[in-house]
Amino acid sequence: MHSRNLHKNGYDFEALTRTHPLLAPHVIRNPSARKTIDFGNAHAVKALNAALLKRYYHIEHWDIPEGYLCPPIPGRADYIHAIADLLSASPATPASTRQFPARLVGLDIGTGANLIYPIIGSQSYGWHFVASDVDKGAIASANLIRSSNSVLRKSVRILQQHKLNSIFDGVIKPHEQFAFSMCNPPFHNSQKEALAGSMQKNQNIKRNQDKRHSSIQGHSSPKNDRSGSHLNFAGQKNELWCAGGEVGFISRMIAESVHYKEQVTWFTSLVAKQKSLAPLYKKLTQVGALEYKTVGMAQGSKISRFIAWRF
C-alpha cells in the first residue's frame, strides 16, 4: 500500500472496537488465531467501515442503505494518496503534498451512497469536493452522511446528475476550477456479467476465510450471511454495469473531458482490467491529450490501477 495509507499495517481490532463497539460482535478468529471479520457478511463489513471512518477520519455517523456498494477503505485511500502524488508532481501545484492550498477542489464522479472519496480526501489533505451521482437514493444517503458530520459540511458539496447521458456536463459549472476529477466507474457490460463477477468474489472470500490473515483485503463484496446460504451482490445498476463496460464509460468520459480541459487539471478514473488500457490510450491520443499515464496500486494480493490524463 501507499506509504501514507493509514491502513498499510492491517486492522487494529482492539482499537477499532473501542472506537466503535458495534464492531465487536463481528470480530472473529481466523485459523491462525488472528482477529478478523467475515468479509462476506455485509453487516460486519459496514461495522468495520464505520469503525475505520470514526477512528481515522473523524466521521461520527456513517451508514449506507442495503443494496449499495460498500467500499474497501484501504484501497479507496490508496487512490486518494496516489492523486496527491500526481498533483505534487504537476507544475501547477506545490511541490509538497503537505502544502496544498486549503481550497484545492476535487470532483468525485459517481460518489455513491458511501461518499468515501470526499471523506478520505477532505480529512487526509483538507481538500474540498464536489460529489455527483445520478441515483436519487445515493444522493440522499451521501447528503445524510454529510449533514451528520460537521467536518464535512463546509468541505463537501453534493449534486445530483440529472443528465443521464452526461458525466461532466450539468455538474461542472462555468468558471469552476478543479485540481482533479476521480471516478470508480461501472466495470461490467451487463447484469449477467456483474452477477458472475460478484459470485466469483463470494467464492474468493470463502477461500480467504481459511487463509492466514485477510485483514487488509478489499471488501466491496457480495452480501451473504455467515453460513453462505444466501447469495446476493451489493451495488445498484449504475454502480456495476453500463453499455460498453468500463471501456465504454471511460471513453465517454475522455470525449467529454475535452470540453472541460480549461477547468480540470487532471482527469482520472479507476480501471479494473489491464486489457482496457490499450483502447483507452488510443482514445486519449485521438482527443489530443497532452499527457496520460497509468498509476498502479496494490493492496495485499489485489492489484488495481487508475488512468490519468490532462490537456
Tens-digit pLDDT profile for residues 21-54 = 999 999 999 999 999 999 999 999 999 999 999 9
Q: How confident is the model at residue 208 (pLDDT cuts 50, 70, 90)?
A: low
- List, in sequence order, every residue forming a beta bridge with 305; answer none if it has no partner: 296
| Mean pLDDT of the region 274-290 | 97
Beta-strand relationship, 156-160 and 128-133 = parallel
- Give the Cβ contact number of residue 270 at 10 Å: 19
- Give the Cβ contact number of residue 27 at 10 Å: 18
Query: Which domains, ranges and CATH numbers included, belong to the chain?
Result: 72-189+236-310 (3.40.50.150)
Tens-digit pLDDT profile for residues 215-265 = 444 444 333 333 333 333 455 455 444 576 899 999 999 999 999 999 999
Kindly report the pTM of this predicted structure: 0.82
Cβ neighbours of residue 141 closer than 8 Å, sequence gap 6 or more: 63, 64, 65, 68, 113, 114, 115
